[in-house]
Amino acid sequence: MRTVSLRWLTTVLLLVLAAYFLLPLYWLIVAATKNTGDLINSSPLWFANPQLWTNLGDLFSFSDGIYLRWILNSVIYSGLGAAGATLIAACAGYAMAKCEFRGREALFNVILAGVLLPTTAIGLPLFLLMSDAGLANTYWAVLLPSLVSPFGVYLSRVYAATVPDDVLDAARADGAGEWRIFLTIALKIMSPALVTIFLFQFIGIWNNYFLPLVMLSDSSLYPLTLGLTSWQGFADREPILQTLVVVGSFVSVIPLIVLSGALQRFWRAGLTEGSVRE
């Protein structure tokens, strides 16, 4: 009887937590179908004269379609940044796990310390570096800092440590070079970790607001986060922007939902792989 009660209590708690996390998404879906007047005056959790397609048309045509440019910028920043960060983290993690060199542990601890540094603390130094290099207000000003993932290096090292040394030695005995071993053997074993790093980095860059705010002044280079915030600042003078910000926010979460769903099976496999040793 106690087991049944505990199971019901757990189920109810999980349902409450699920509702807590899904309620903002539900509100966003409902609000994206409303015009400016209904957005303010109607019930916040129910539909009123739905006009989602009209709102989407207004969103994509406003200011010569600048929103589409912001989507493209976000894809460039997140896609290239996540892919580059994943590759760099994989190389660094493999080297930390399988290559013996002086100061390895000290270097790894320094990299891990990067996890503790808040973005706001390094924003100004990064801006000064990019300004001195002539890269401020360019794509590179956002892309280059996005290539660094201390957590990715840590996770890659954990998975690289599971690569059997006997397999590596056999590959070397067959004449394979280190790069070939890394690309054909290590990366396959590390693939669940790499998917996790890519997903986390992609979401982090997609949602990043502070770095583009510091680095960019040209609105044509803005990602979605900065672009929508700039619209929100003018909503009091141009009321339609209030609706467009809500609709734009709704559209911006769709790629994250699709990507998370597509990579979920790889990510879930990576959570348990290597947990059992023979």
Stretch 139-164: mean pLDDT: 91
Stretch 192-221: mean pLDDT: 92
Residue 19 lies in a domain: no
Residue 43, amino acid: S
Q: Provide the pLDDT for residue 251.
A: 94
Residue 88, amino acid: I
CATH of the domain at 107: 1.10.3720.10
Token pair 């200011």 is found at 63
| Alpha-carbon span 102 to 96, nearest angstrom | 11
Residue 146 lies in a domain: yes
Q: Provide the pLDDT for residue 269.
A: 54
Q: Provide the pLDDT for residue 267.
A: 60
Stretch 227-232: mean pLDDT: 92
Tell which wins on pLDDT, 215 or 274: 215
| Alpha-carbon span 216 to 127, nearest angstrom | 10
Residue 35 lies in a domain: no
Residue 123 lies in a domain: yes
Q: Provide the pLDDT for residue 271.
A: 46
Distances (CA, A) of 209 to 14, 84, 127, 215, 222: 31, 20, 14, 10, 10
pTM confidence score: 0.88
Whole-number average pLDDT of the chain: 87
Residue 11 lies in a domain: no
Contact 201, 148 (CB under 8 A): no
Residue 40 lies in a domain: no
Residue 14 lies in a domain: no
Nearest to 196 by CA among 237, 153, 227: 153
pLDDT interval class at 1 (50, 70, 90): low
Residue 264 predicted with pLDDT over 80: no
CA atoms within 13 A on the CB side of 108: 21
Q: How many CB atoms lie within 10 A of CB 92?
A: 21
Q: How many domains does the chain contain in total? A: 1
Encode pLDDT of 166-197 as tens digits.
888 888 888 888 888 888 888 888 888 899 89
Contact 230, 254 (CB under 8 A): no
Residue 213 predicted with pLDDT over 60: yes
| Alpha-carbon span 7 to 98, nearest angstrom | 45
Q: Provide the pLDDT for residue 201.
A: 94
Characterise 163 by phi-psi region: left (phi > 0), alpha (psi -120 to 50), beta (else): beta
Distances (CA, A) of 107 to 94, 104, 113, 156, 214: 14, 5, 10, 15, 29
Contact 214, 148 (CB under 8 A): no
Domain extent, residue 187, equals 50-272
Residue 236 lies in a domain: yes
